[in-house]
Amino acid sequence: MKRIDSSKNELIKQWKKLHKKRGREKSGQFLIEGHHLIEEALRAGIEVHAMIMTEEVILPSSWVVDEGKLVLTTTSVMKELCETESPQGVAAICSLPTDTDLSPQLGKYLLIDRVQDPGNIGTLIRTADAVGLDGVILEKGSVDIYNSKVVRASQGSIFHVPIVKGDLLEWIHEFKRVGVPVFGTALEQASSYSAIQPQKNFALILGNEGEGVNKELLDNSDQNLYIPIYGQAESLNVSVAAGILLYHLRNETF
């Protein structure tokens, strides 16, 4: 077991770089904080390089971690390393999973077009997992899903659902080709979602917080849906909208 008492330690400096996309890409690693996320990563078979913990922490006996990977540190170094205000006293340095395999076939999918907020992306992935989707496709330029805010908001669901980045227009064409109906979301020239029957297969597109879904994608969907607003709010939060639509589209009997 290693011991690190200073935040100037070279390893701590290196690991802090994992908060940035560049640091993750260079090293092929990412950092996660807290019991729940580490539990989910281990369960998903993610490779752990180092498990960093403060003295008070007792690791669950189900976590099999090589003694050589354990790093004991102080609360203040842990605070320095982690991004949350009150870290739980345990963090792990993990290998970025190699490319996820996802090909267009029958099933249920969420397409995410330029959603900006990492918390929203994480919550979308958590919702996609809860409703049992077969995959999530993010528009190419989207935030990295190993961004710690995405990981935290996903509550570990990034380890459960296949997630890829790609050209959404190409995916839409592919889904239509294999017989998966594609639903956009829009405020104009759209049908109320409640008029649509639950679907065995579907691909739902949700878009940027301010601008919604790109017009070209809407033009290429099979049908566009809206959620009626009965009050004075201008719109719903994108993750809330996703929850309403995904749970409506999913048929309990399938």
> Closest distance between a second copy and the C-beta of residue 206, in Å?
12
> Closest distance between a second copy and the C-beta of residue 216, in Å?
27
Residue 194, burial from CB neighbour count under 10 angstroms (0-12, 13-18, 19+): exposed
Q: Greatest CA separation found in the chain?
A: 62
162-187 burial code (b ≥16 CB/10 A, e <16): ebebeebeebbebbbeeebbbbbbbe
Distance (Å, whole) CA 145 – CA 151:
7
- With beta carbons less than 8 A apart as the criterion, state whether 196 and 162 touch: no
Taking residues 110 to 149 in sequence order and writing x for each that binds a second copy by CB under 8 A, - otherwise, the string is ---------x---x--xxxxxxxx----------------
Task: Report the 10 Å Cβ neighbour count for 87.
Answer: 18
Instruction: Read off the tokens for 162.
Output: 């296949």
Residue 22 — φ and ψ, nearest 5°?
Answer: -60, -45
Distance (Å, whole) CA 185 – CA 2:
52
The nearer residue to a second copy, 123 or 221, going by C-beta atoms, is 123
Candidates 157, 185, 214, 221; binder of a second copy (CB under 8 A) is 157
The nearer residue to a second copy, 104 or 135, going by C-beta atoms, is 135
Query: Quick check: 75 binds a second copy (CB under 8 A)?
Result: no
**Which span sits near a second copy by CB under 8 A: 12-20, 82-90, 139-147, 150-158?**
150-158
Interface of this chain with a second copy, residues 190 to 229, rule: CB under 8 A: 192, 194, 227-229
> Closest distance between a second copy and the C-beta of residue 247, in Å?
5
Query: Quick check: 236 binds a second copy (CB under 8 A)?
Result: yes
Closest CA to 127 of 206, 37, 40: 206
**Which span sits near a second copy by CB under 8 A: 23-31, 89-97, 164-172, 232-240?**
232-240
Query: Quick check: 247 binds a second copy (CB under 8 A)?
Result: yes
Footprint on this chain of a second copy (rule: CB under 8 A):
119, 123, 126-133, 153, 155-157, 160-161, 192, 194, 227-237, 239-244, 247-248, 250, 252
